Chain A
Amino acid sequence: MSLSPVEGAALAEIESSDQEPDEKKRLVGRSPGQLVWARLRRDRTAMVSGVVLALFILAAVAAPLIQRLYGVSPNQQFGDLLDATGMPLGYVGGVSGDHWFGLEPGLGRDIFIRMIYGIRTSLLIALGAALVTTTIGVVLGIVAGFLGGVVDSVISWITDVALALPFLIFALAVVPTFSLRFYGPRDAVPTWFAVTTLIVVFAAFGWTGTARLVRGQVVSLREREFVEAARASGAGLGHMLFRQLLPNIWAPILVAFSLAVPSYVTGEAALSFLGVGLPESVPSFGRMIYRSIDYLQTDPAYVFFPGITIFALVLAFNLFGDALRDALDPKSSR
């Protein structure tokens, strides 16, 4: 992106003239959405990270299909392929044509298909939690920043209280209590309930950062004359907040979102590890890593495959969020 703010128009003309002649016609009538897409297309990082993300999401969505093609179910155990100490036979944790990423030590479950399902649970929880927290944070932050006064004081106070509560202790205390309220101590908690509980717990704490970020941005924008122009035309509060101000703060919100998703992936893993997350039968991405820590010396491959995958997922999210911010910013110089 080489358009500087001042020369944007001029450069657009020059660029169009040294491309094919029909390019010029398109340039005149391009909508903002098309412009963002065109910028993303030209950004190599965005395309690579976008493709990686798309593959992850595709794998998550198509997990049952992959299972059918692969021919192994996530809870199927292959005890005959383990040695007497429970370690997988063969090299690199039992990698073979049937089990691409090897087998789990101990239970002998297939790592590849558990990872596919693990991506599914992790992404569902992380995206769900990030969406909920971002929505709450944006609404509260934008209202607090724009209205100011008493509303701002009350919302900021609630934010401070939520920040002061220790997340882990709260989660450890609330999640089991919450499950016991609806299910007996011996009942199996259904997966959807565990997932919803996790999202609610993340949402109760995660919105504070976004709310503070958005509030700060809005405070610096609310005195701008384009907001007053809307007010002078008779615009209501909703229009000024969500039509005038919100488009100007998409960039930090997207960055916050793209950083929140991987942190919820690890957050879910941590809670599952501590026993308040998902039940053991549900393949969880982060949970695999925590289980594999025990086998770090004896079976490094067990750590390697989920580790590399989660690294790629987090990196792709961050890079794509960054590229999207650049593409959304019409004044971006990159």
Chain B
Amino acid sequence: MSAETEPLLSVRGLTKHFPVRQGLRARGAVRAVDGLDFDVRPGETLGLVGESGCGKTTTGRMLVRLLEPTSGSITFAGRDITHGGRRELRGLRQDLQIIFQDPYASLNPRHTVGRIVAMPLQVNRITPPGGVKKRVQELLELVGLNPEHYNRYPHEFSGGQRQRIGIARALALKPKLIVADEPVSALDVSIQAQVINLLRDLQRDLDLAFVFIAHDLAVIRHFCHRVAVMYLGTIVEIGDRDTIYTRPQHPYTRALLSAIPDVTTLGPAGRIRLTGDVPTPLNPPSGCRFRTRCWKATDHCATEEPALTTRDDGGQLTACHYPESGPVGMPTGEPVEVSK
């Protein structure tokens, strides 16, 4: 992953505020996503991880333009796609597809599998060589389904099979980048592994780039090259998978990683317990958004928002005034100010 490669997707200052109205007057806004910066290179997988309500899904939906960003810019393959209309986006839609979280809601119950998978071809008026039916059957085979299931309805399939149908639909236009919005969190653990491995094979064979949204750290670790950790609408840390998992610098990342259940060390050893709840995105805390739950927070954290900068030359970016060092799992003890 050389840094010189032109990024396929480049996001700068991406923001989404949902206005909250009472009557006709606006009463502030839910700051669901507040100033994201990240790049995805061709063939790369970026994991977006964070707890519920941190803006992961909103981000994914903005990337495929199901939601209009409030501000910021999205550049895909050198073109600014932040505010393009349907016609301008037409060519681009083919390169940028989404896999949804709920395999029960994402397939039209009145359409056959063949019609569902052919839908992207149909709306873009594409006739693949050999005909639509042949292409659909190829796609079904590609995702590990029986091509003869062409005429069946979604309700005749299990959750995992349905998710495969959703993947086949996303692949129909031969995209370059797929936004996968929690593609396995609605599935059984045993099925999760199958679907993840399928996505990994597809990524390798078709040279796809992924933005992989999940709250399951193990899944992210298995699948992603790079990981971005989100908290309350911002990225608090972004870096290569191994760096994030072995040497996290942000206290929140540490707390997240320490929460992974580990059968070898049952009990509270090494577990960082965060107290309190996530603050409301209507009125996020000043300065560092994590400071209300951070055990290292000082007055400095309340006044100045930490920038997402690198601390060493590992390419890992952390938004923290007092970053951690050392491998994960070590009890961090008392707050220690790190000299800069």
Find out whether the CB atom of B93 lies under 8 angstroms from the CB atom of A244.
no
Pick from A32, A225, A235: contact of B119, CB below 8 A.
A235
Interchain pairs with CB closer than 8 A, number? 87
A250 vs B203: C-alpha distance in the bound complex, in angstroms? 39
Find out whether the CB atom of A226 lies under 8 angstroms from the CB atom of B107.
yes
Stretch at the interface among A5-13, A131-139, A292-300: A5-13
Find out whether the CB atom of A8 lies under 8 angstroms from the CB atom of B86.
no
Stretch at the interface among B32-40, B97-105, B228-236, B328-336: B97-105
Which residue from chain B places its CB closest to the CB of A10 in the assembled complex? Answer: B156
A88 vs B337: C-alpha distance in the bound complex, in angstroms? 112
Known: A12-B156, A226-B106. A232 touches B64 (CB 8 A): yes
Find out whether the CB atom of A234 lies under 8 angstroms from the CB atom of B148.
no
CB interface residues, A 201-244, toward B, < 8 Å: 224-226, 228-236, 239, 243-244
Stretch at the interface among A23-31, A103-111, A177-185: A23-31
| Interface check A275, CB cutoff 8 A | no
Find out whether the CB atom of A229 lies under 8 angstroms from the CB atom of B110.
no
Give chain A residues whose Cβ lies under 8 Å from the Cβ of B127: none
Find out whether the CB atom of A234 lies under 8 angstroms from the CB atom of B124.
yes
Give chain B residues whose Cβ lies under 8 Å from the Cβ of A230: 119, 123
Which residue from chain B places its CB closest to the CB of A31 in the assembled complex? Answer: B151
Find out whether the CB atom of A234 lies under 8 angstroms from the CB atom of B86.
yes
Give chain B residues whose Cβ lies under 8 Å from the Cβ of A247: 108, 110-111
| Interface check A73, CB cutoff 8 A | no
| Interface check A266, CB cutoff 8 A | no
| Interface check B112, CB cutoff 8 A | yes
Find out whether the CB atom of B98 lies under 8 angstroms from the CB atom of A232.
yes
Find out whether the CB atom of A232 lies under 8 angstroms from the CB atom of B66.
yes
Give chain B residues whose Cβ lies under 8 Å from the Cβ of A28: 148, 151
Q: How many residues of A contact B (CB 8 A)?
A: 30
| Interface check A331, CB cutoff 8 A | yes
A236 vs B151: C-alpha distance in the bound complex, in angstroms? 25
| Interface check A330, CB cutoff 8 A | yes
* Cβ of B101 to closest chain A Cβ, rounded Å: 8
Give chain B residues whose Cβ lies under 8 Å from the Cβ of A226: 105-108, 116
Give chain A residues whose Cβ lies under 8 Å from the Cβ of B120: 233-234
* Cβ of B206 to closest chain A Cβ, rounded Å: 17
* Cβ of A138 to closest chain B Cβ, rounded Å: 15
| Interface check B250, CB cutoff 8 A | no
* Cβ of A11 to closest chain B Cβ, rounded Å: 9
* Cβ of B76 to closest chain A Cβ, rounded Å: 14
Find out whether the CB atom of B151 lies under 8 angstroms from the CB atom of A225.
no
Find out whether the CB atom of B119 lies under 8 angstroms from the CB atom of A9.
no
Pick from A233, A244, A331: contact of B108, CB below 8 A.
A244
Give chain B residues whose Cβ lies under 8 Å from the Cβ of A248: 108-110
Binding site for B on A (CB under 8 A): 5-6, 8-9, 12, 28-32, 224-226, 228-236, 239, 243-244, 247-248, 250, 330-331
Binding site for A on B (CB under 8 A): 61, 64-66, 86, 89-90, 93-94, 97-98, 100-102, 105-112, 116, 119-120, 122-124, 148, 151-153, 155-157, 166, 169, 173
* A/B interface sample: 18 pairs, CB < 8 A: A12-B156, A28-B151, A32-B151, A225-B101, A228-B61, A228-B106, A230-B119, A230-B123, A231-B66, A233-B173, A234-B94, A239-B123, A244-B108, A247-B110, A250-B110, A330-B109, A330-B110, A330-B155
Q: List 18 extra interface pairs beyond A9-B152, A229-B166, CB under 8 A.
A: A5-B155, A28-B148, A225-B105, A226-B105, A226-B107, A228-B100, A229-B169, A232-B64, A232-B65, A232-B93, A232-B97, A233-B169, A233-B173, A236-B86, A247-B108, A248-B109, A330-B109, A330-B155
